[in-house]
Amino acid sequence: MLAGSLSILQTANDSLLEPAIRIVSQLHDACTQSLAQSPVYRELSVPTGPQVDIGPDGTVKYSEVPRPDEPSFAAFVEHIRQPMAQGVPPHIHLKKRYESDNMSYSAELSTVYYEGLSEIC
């Protein structure tokens, strides 16, 4: 689509279109180069947590507010990765099903999960 737009702009032979031609050409080159690379996603949002306020008249107001000790997604991931107590898995973890159909905490799968979260930070 950009290649078609670029060829139409170039055939117009109008000096006023030169800035547009330059921008479309740069955008086309950037898109072509990015197709040769793996996709990249970065989580840049600020982690939030729930806050419920009850007014004097009994009205309930729910909102999401920034987490005080987690200024970034990376800090949030590091916080939830930590176990709540010695010998206890983290609050958010993965389990593995064994032949007996019992499921139990899998440190290996949980590590893969947290490494994936850390990569997008």
SS (H, E, C) 45-114: CCCEEEEEEECCCCCEEEEEEECCCCCCHHHHHHHHHCECCCCCCECCCCEEECCCCCEEECHHHHHHHH
pLDDT at 111: 95
Residue 43 vs residue 97, higher pLDDT = 97
Both structure tokens of 91: 């609050």
Q: Is the pTM of this model over 0.85?
A: no
Model confidence at 110, in pLDDT bands (50, 70, 90)?
very high
Q: What's the token pair of residue 25?
A: 């050409």
- The overall average pLDDT reported for the chain is 90
Name the band, by pLDDT with cuts 50, 70 and 90, for residue 59: very high
- Please check whether residue 121 is in contact with residue 42, taking contact to mean a CB–CB distance below 8 angstroms: yes
Integer Cα distance of 114 and 109 in angstroms: 9
Total residue count of the chain as it appears in this document: 121
- Reported confidence tier of residue 10, pLDDT bands at 50, 70, 90: confident
Q: Which letter does DSSP use for residue 100 in this model?
A: T
Report pLDDT for 3.
83
Find the distance separating the first CA and the last CA of the chain, reported in whole Å. Answer: 32
